[in-house]
Structure formats: C-alpha cells, structure tokens
Structure 1
C-alpha cells in the first residue's frame, strides 16, 4: 500500500537500504528508518502545529521507539512524546524525548505509578476512572508534585477500537473536573478521547468521529461552569493536513505518529507534505512450489485497510524500478509470520539472499522485528546509526550472532 509512494518520493532511501543489507549492515526482518526524512517531517509538522496553536507530542510505537527516531524528532522541534504504555515512555525518556502525555491508550499500572510520577514526570496524565485518578494523584503527591490530569471521556455513540473502551461519562464532566481538582497531588487539566479522527475508506478522506463532537460538548459544559483554557487532546490519523480542522474543532494538543514517517492512511492516497520515511526489509531464504520464501517476523500490516494485494521489490542490487516488483502472499493474521511467499514464476529470477523491500503501515512494537536507523540518505552518504529492538534497546548485530 505504501510501496508506491516510497518508490516515487524516496527512491534513494529504498536503494540505500538495499545496498546496506547486501553489504551485511542491515539484518533481514527489520523496519528501516530514513532519519533525515523524519527530521524534515517533524520540522514541517511542528511548524504547521505552531500556526494553529497546537501542542505536539510524538508517538513512537509504530517504529519501535527507536532512539534515533526520537532524536530526529527532537531535532525537528518536537520535544515531547506521547507514550502508548510505560515501556514506550521509558524508551523515549532514555533517548531524551521526555514524556508529554502518559496513560492514554494504556493506563499506568498501579505499582508503576510512583515511578511515573517521580521519574518520568509527565506533563499530562490521562485517567479513565476515579480509582486511576487517585493513584496518579497520590503518586504525584509522594513525589512532591502536582500532576496535570486529563479525563478520558465517552458517551453513547462514540467510536472505540475493541479493547480500547473506557472513560468517564462525558455528561458528568463538570463533576469529574471538580473531583480531580479535589485530589491532593492532582489537578484537572482537560479532556481527551481516541480516535477523534479516522480515515474513511469510501471517500478516501479523514473525517471526525462522534468522539470529537463529544469533546466539543464537554468543553462547552466546562466553559459554562467557569472553566476556561482547558486542554483538549484529540489524537487519531494525525498528519499536517488535518491540523487546521483539529484546531477549528477546539483541540489544543495533537499527537503525530505515522504522520512523522509518512504512513497515515491519507498518505497512501494523497501526496501530503510529509515524505515516506520507513520501509520493511527482508531477504529471500529458499524456494518451494514456485514460491520464493522470504523471512518474516515483522509482517504486520496494520488492518486499518481491508486486505489488499501485496507487492515487494526483490533484487540483489539496489533498485526502485517497477519492473522489480513481485506479488507476495502474506500469512493470515492468525498465523505466525515465519515467512512470506513471493511469486517466483515470472521471468525475473529470484535468488536466495536477494533483498526484499515492503512498504507497510506497520506497528513495529507488536512484532519481533528489529528497527534500523539510517542517516545521510539526503546527502548521498547513507550509513546505519543504531539497530534496536522494539523497546528501543540497542542490539549488537551482526556481532550478536558471531560465535
């Protein structure tokens, strides 16, 4: 889905990754990042967000919380992260990208609240319930801080991914704000939801969900009760192209993730300002039954789209030519992705050891893939920076496999 835009807009990145793999510098089963492009994207995004008065928090889970990614984002001007979970917050903090928003998609476990309050010191901490608010406030008080709390709100008709549900009743937001303000160590700072925006397959546009209207109504209730200047956190499908609409809807915070590497659904159907900056790289292992099997491990295609025909660039030489595209069968989501199967019946020879490049809207942190940073693509001097796992830990490769 994203390989076409990669080939059109960042062919030098593809060819650099292939050359480095063939030189033994990049392992198979790796998400590879063009850190120069990430920095440009972050700078572009931050500039547009600033025009609309929006605070920007970077989401890093899709690229495995890679330290080089975090640092490229900071060079681009985004200085805070939004952490999907505590592992995300720890990896970003270690890389120097401090925690702007914690606890939204995944609440902070009770026994980890003290560490979060004292060591991570998030600018904002989202809570789904009175119990989780009490835990956050108590931890902040023990750390000698007052923690800004965002109330996750919801009402009938709101949209949630299955397993993401939760939050205070939006109709009770005024009482909730008073409740959070009454906590020692806590202070009500605003409201949030997810997703506020979603890609619509039929129109091929990004549209607001009912949740965004829920935020607006809650903000009106708070204003009527004398609470002004609250934070309105409205993440989901965030690229620079949607920031004006978010600001117009009242949002004060945005959280780019896929937008920083050019892989929101809208990037697949429109040429947006952000350049594609991530690819998935594998290698042909062996042949069987007219198929060339390439290594898996990171073959996670985010199911925001219906299933679609998958193709990959396959070659022993750097290439971004359409003629080097081959059809690929990806194992069903219910199977372990040990391999993908490349059509090897065409005249183009496919050999063991060939590099295989995919363009995925991935979620590296839920796979067993490694994440590799490349710098210098824009200058014509590409080089690997670090190779890390999905927790942002450095991996010594190929030294890790040498006896």
Structure 2
C-alpha cells in the first residue's frame, strides 16, 4: 500500500537500501529507516504542535525502538517518548529519549512499578484502575517522588481494539480524580483514551471516534469542578494534518508514531507533509512451483486496510522502475512467515539473491525482523548507522563479516 508512495516521494531511499543490501551491508528480513527523513518529519510535527500549544510524545514501537530513530526524533525537536510497554520505555531511555508517558496502552506490571518510578521517572503515568493507581503512587513515594497520574477513561459506545479494553468509568471522573489525589505519592494530572482518531477506509478520511467526545465531556466536567489545567491525551493516527482538529477538540498531548515515518493510513491515500521513511527489505531465497520465495520474518502488515494485492520491487540492481514490480503472496497471519511467494513468470524472473523491497505499514516490535538505520540518503551518501533487534539492542550481524 505504501510502495507507490515510496517510489514517488523517496526513490533515493529505495535505491540506497537496495544497493547496501547488494553490497552486503543490510541483511534480509530488515525494516530499513531513512533517518534524515525521520528527523525532517519530527521537526514538521513539533513545529505544528508548538504553534497549537500541544505536547508531543513519540511512539517508537512500529520501528522496533531503534536507537537511531530515537536520536533522529530528538534532533527533530521531540524530546520525550510514549512507551507502549516497559520494553519500549527501557529501549527509548537507553537511547536518550526519556519517558514522557508510560502505562498506555500497556499497564506497568506490579513488580516493575518500583523500577519505573525510580529509574524511568515518567512525566505522566496512565492507570486503568484504583489498584494500578495505588501501585504507581506507592512506587513513586518509595522513590521520593510525586507521580503525575492520568486516568484512562471509557464509556458505553467508545471504540477499542479487542484486547485493549479497560479504564475508569468516564461518568465518575470527578470521584476518580479525588481518589487519585488522595494517594500518597500520586496526583491526578489528566485523562486519556485510545484511539481518539481512526482512518475510515470508506471515506478515506481520518475521523474522530466516540472516545474523543468522551474525553471532551470529561474534561468539561473536570473544568466545571475547578480542574481546568489537566492534560488531555488523545493518541491515534497522528500526523501534522490532524493536530489542529485535536487541539480544537481540547487535546493537550499528541503521540505520533507512524506519522514520524510517513505511514499513517492517510499517508497512503493523500500526499501529507511527512515523507515516507520506512521500508521492509528481503531477498529471494529459492524457486518452487513458478514462485520465487523471499525470506520473511517481518511480514506483519498492519491490517488497517481491507486485504489488497501486495507488491514488491525485485532486482539485483537499485531500481524504482515499475517494470520491477511483482505481485506477492504473503502467508496468512495464522502461519509463521518464513517466506513470501513472488510471481516469477516472464523473461525477467527474480533470481536467487535479488533484493526485494516492500512498502507497508509495519509493526517491527511484534516480529523477528532486524531494524537498520540509514543516514545520508538526503545528501546522496547513504550509510548504515546501526543494525538492531526489536528491543533496540545492537546486533552483531554475520553479514558484516569479511574474512
């Protein structure tokens, strides 16, 4: 879905990745990042947020919490992360991107709260229940801190992905705020939900969910009770294009993730300010039954669109010509993606060792793919920075070995 966008708007990135793979510097089964473009995108988002008075926390899970990505985001002016889980917080913190928001989407495990409070020291910590609020506050008190706590709220009719449900009853937010304020080591700081915005594939537009109205109504109730300086955290499908609408709806905090590398659903159907800065790279392994099999491992294609024909660029030389495009069959999500199958008909059939480039909205942190940072694409001198796993750990990749 995003391959056409990459070809049109960042062809040099594709060609650099293919050349570096063919020279042995990028492994197969790798998410590759154009860190120059990430830095530019971060600056665009931060500048627009500054204009609107919004606080920005960067989401890094989609690209495996890569340290170079964290550094590029900081160079673009965003100084804090939102951690989807503790692993995310640890990787970002190690890379210098400190924790702005912890506990949302994934709550902090009970026996990890003390570490989170003492070592990560998040600016905001989201809790879904009184039990989790008490844990966070007690951990902060033990660390000699007072922790700003945000309440995840929900009400009947709100939209949640299955398995994401949870939170305080929005109709009881005044009592929730009072209970959190009564905790030693904690104080009520605001409200949050997810998703506040979603892409509508029928209209091809980003629309507010019922959750955003729930946030707005809860914030109004809090303001009437004298709590008019709270944080209102409204993540979901975030890019420069939607920031004004979020600010108008009362949001004070936004959390771009895919927007930082130009792969929100809206980027696939409209040319937005952010450039595409991520691709998935593989290599032809073997042939069978008229198909060229390429290595998998990172073929988790985030299902934000109805199923579509996946395509890839395939070649032994850097190319963005559409003649190099091939239809690809990707295994169903119920199977392990050891390989994908490329159409191998015609005179220019893929050869073993050919580079394969996909453009899709990925989620590197749930795969076994590596993540590779590139710098210098914008200046015509691309180079690999680091190769890391999905936890942001450096990998001693054997392909870099030269006898």
TM-score, normalisation: structure 2: 0.99
Per-residue deviation, 1:401? 7.6
Aligned residues of 2:294 and 2:356 also touching (Cα < 8 A):
yes
| Whole-angstrom distance in 2 between the partners of 1:189 and 1:279 | 38
Per-residue CA distance 1:317-347 (angstroms, 9 max, x = gap): 0001111100000001111000000000122
Aligned to 1:378, what secondary structure does the other structure show?
helix
Q: Which residue of 2 aligns with 1:50?
A: 50
Per-residue CA distance 1:170-218 (angstroms, 9 max, x = gap): 0000000000000000000000000000000110000000000000110
Q: Which residue of 1 aligns with 2:268?
A: 268
| Whole-angstrom distance in 2 between the partners of 1:224 and 1:76 | 37
Q: Which residue of 1 aligns with 2:177?
A: 177
| Whole-angstrom distance in 1 between the partners of 2:223 and 2:377 | 49
| Whole-angstrom distance in 2 between the partners of 1:334 and 1:347 | 34
Q: Equivalent residues in 2 for 1:4-403 (5 A)?
A: 4-398=4-398
Per-residue deviation, 1:358? 0.0
Closer/same/farther in 2, CA of residues 401 and 331 from structure 1, 3 Å limit: farther
Aligned residues of 2:330 and 2:340 also touching (Cα < 8 A):
yes
**Count of paired positions:** 403
Per-residue CA distance 1:71-107 (angstroms, 9 max, x = gap): 0000000000000000000000000000000001000
Per-residue deviation, 1:360? 1.1
Range moving further from structure 2, 252-261 or 303-312 = 303-312
Closer/same/farther in 2, CA of residues 105 and 42 from structure 1, 3 Å limit: same
Q: CA RMSD in A?
A: 1.0
| Whole-angstrom distance in 2 between the partners of 1:401 and 1:251 | 50
Aligned residues of 2:27 and 2:399 also touching (Cα < 8 A):
no
Aligned residues of 2:41 and 2:275 also touching (Cα < 8 A):
yes
Closer/same/farther in 2, CA of residues 370 and 277 from structure 1, 3 Å limit: same
Per-residue deviation, 1:402? 8.5
Runs of 4+ in 1 over 2 A off after TM superposition: 398-403
Per-residue deviation, 1:400? 8.1
| Whole-angstrom distance in 2 between the partners of 1:378 and 1:286 | 34
Per-residue deviation, 1:224? 1.1
**Runs of 5+ consecutive residues of structure 2 not aligned to the other structure:** none
Per-residue CA distance 1:146-180 (angstroms, 9 max, x = gap): 00000000000000000000000000000000000
